[in-house]
A and B are shown apart, each in its own frame.
Chain A
Amino acid sequence: MSSKICAVIDYGMGNLHSAHGALQTVAPDTNVLVTSDPETILRADHVVLPGVGAIRDCMAEIRAQGIDQVVAEVRKSKPLLGICVGLQAMMERSEENGGVGCLGLFPGEVKFFGKDLHENGEHLKVPHMGWNQVQQVAHPLWSGIADNSRFYFVHSYYVSPGDESQLKGRGHYGVDFAAAMGEDNVFAVQFHPEKSHNAGLALLRNFLAWGGQS
């Protein structure tokens, strides 16, 4: 019996050691591959779209390497997980870098937290960096994870959902933002599950056990 394949899409934006290590740790029998090869990605059972850095650079690489078309294909059938800028890339557009058009898997925009963010009289630092709570909206990927568990975030831009029914995790930092979005076989998170200790590992385990039904 051949083992299942999980493809972590490598489009040249940052290190994927941690994502690879975390996925491999939660599913030792799955063959976790870090790859940019479209054929390998399309052959995989599960696909992860990570991302770090500026959205302009991420989208430029995604388009230059044809990853946009690969993702469009993956989106039709198999479980797809977006992480951090991977989630932001799935929205319609981002206001970072003067405005960047994204993949449009989800309606909605990516916005700047701003330099003047306050809560209860306290000035909030940007980037939103550290462990914050996520209020869950029922979804198989939250299975076994306590509601309001903390995950590790680091971002200066946040997702504002265009369709509230796709909001699968609520975050709050001065403003309400989407900590997780989902529709059919696609799930995407703003935090880094691969850096979020037990809660993050549980979510990755759930993803690799997921058939893509919401």
Chain B
Amino acid sequence: MALAKRIIPCLDVDKGRVVKGVNFVGIRDAGDPVEIAKRYNDQGADEITFLDITASHEGRETTVHMVEAIAEQVFIPLTVGGGIRELDDIRRMLNAGADKVSINSAAVYNPEFVKKASDRFGAQCIVVAIDAKQVDDHWEIFTHGGRKPTGINAVEWAVKMEEYGAGEILLTSMDRDGVKSGFDLGVTRAISDAVNIPVIASGGVGNLDHLVDGVKEGRADAVLAASIFHFGEYTVQEAKQHMAAAGIEMRLD
């Protein structure tokens, strides 16, 4: 008996609709978040993460209703990230049925927010998202979608976030070449070894071997991917079979 590594498909949502072209055969309306979440659920996804890119406050209300609708019908853990800046944002998402929220920039600008959130809602629902890139011989935190350097050392930051009450780290990394060349395994492993909480590896997945590497070389507890699943390139089930064949403990039933 052993804990399985997890595969987490990630969806971008804007005003309660899935954007960035999710393209499944057999889905009538490719933007319907409930239908897409159900599809991933049926394929054996271990969790689903939504990244809310809605700009307006009113639009965010729609996202709350979207989470409500999904939580009533999809019975695996749901995480919502993007725009989580205040305790009230967390409360609304959890009340709507999210199991976890992911805090990104707000943690960088105000680390105390993570502490408050964890005290109030419990570490189990607080994911701290870290966007890291290699700079010279170390890794740094970047904000604004990887454009803005902060000068903060990513490994030290992850340790600090654990101390502040993060229950999990969502690490988005890309090697210096950029897209679809796999996780930056160096930083994934450095952070996974440095903290005692689970680490989700994300960013740059282009094929199924990248997922295997994330777990085996990067020692990630879970892997998150978006585009390789959205366009039907691979199903989540195929990814799980591939990882299991590589000797990784997976949930296949």
* B6 and A125 form a contact (CB under 8 A): no
How many residues on chain B are close to A (CB under 8 Å)?
37
* A18 and B71 form a contact (CB under 8 A): yes
Interface string of B1-31 (1 = CB under 8 A from A): 1111110000000000000000000000000
The interface residues of chain B lying within 8 Å CB-to-CB of A17 are 68, 71-72, 95-97
- Indicate whether A94 reaches chain B with its CB closer than 8 angstroms: no
* A15 and B75 form a contact (CB under 8 A): no
* B76 and A195 form a contact (CB under 8 A): yes
* A132 and B1 form a contact (CB under 8 A): yes
* B3 and A15 form a contact (CB under 8 A): no
Given A15-B94, A129-B168, A194 and B221 contact (CB-CB distance below 8 Å) = no
Give B26 Cβ to nearest chain A Cβ, in Å.
20
* B253 and A22 form a contact (CB under 8 A): no
Give A104 Cβ to nearest chain B Cβ, in Å.
24
* A125 and B1 form a contact (CB under 8 A): no
The interface residues of chain B lying within 8 Å CB-to-CB of A192 are 77
* A21 and B4 form a contact (CB under 8 A): no
Report the Cα distance A203→B97, complex, angstroms.
20
Report the Cα distance A25→B123, complex, angstroms.
29
Interface string of A151-173 (1 = CB under 8 A from B): 01011100000000000000111
* B197 and A130 form a contact (CB under 8 A): no
Give B52 Cβ to nearest chain A Cβ, in Å.
17
Report the Cα distance A207→B75, complex, angstroms.
17
- Indicate whether A138 reaches chain B with its CB closer than 8 angstroms: no
- Indicate whether A75 reaches chain B with its CB closer than 8 angstroms: no
The interface residues of chain B lying within 8 Å CB-to-CB of A201 are 75
Given A148-B1, A171-B1, A173-B3, A126 and B75 contact (CB-CB distance below 8 Å) = no
Give B139 Cβ to nearest chain A Cβ, in Å.
20
Residue of A nearest to B94 (CB): A15
In which size bucket is the chain A interface? 35 or more
Selected from A20, A25, A171, A197, the residue in CB contact (under 8 A) with B76 is: A197
- Indicate whether A66 reaches chain B with its CB closer than 8 angstroms: no
Report the Cα distance A150→B253, complex, angstroms.
8
- Indicate whether B251 reaches chain A with its CB closer than 8 angstroms: yes
- Indicate whether B33 reaches chain A with its CB closer than 8 angstroms: no
* B75 and A195 form a contact (CB under 8 A): yes
Give A147 Cβ to nearest chain B Cβ, in Å.
11
Report the Cα distance A201→B76, complex, angstroms.
11
Report the Cα distance A152→B94, complex, angstroms.
18
- Indicate whether A127 reaches chain B with its CB closer than 8 angstroms: yes
- Indicate whether B167 reaches chain A with its CB closer than 8 angstroms: yes
- Indicate whether B121 reaches chain A with its CB closer than 8 angstroms: yes
9 CB < 8 A contacts A-B? A14-B121, A17-B97, A127-B197, A131-B3, A133-B1, A135-B1, A150-B4, A156-B123, A196-B76
- 10 interchain residue pairs of minimum CB distance: A17-B97, A21-B72, A53-B122, A131-B251, A133-B1, A172-B1, A131-B4, A150-B251, A132-B3, A17-B71
* New contact pairs (19) apart from A131-B6, A149-B253, A192-B77, CB-CB < 8 Å: A15-B71, A17-B72, A18-B99, A52-B122, A53-B122, A115-B196, A126-B197, A127-B123, A127-B167, A127-B198, A128-B3, A129-B124, A129-B198, A130-B3, A130-B221, A152-B76, A156-B124, A173-B3, A196-B76
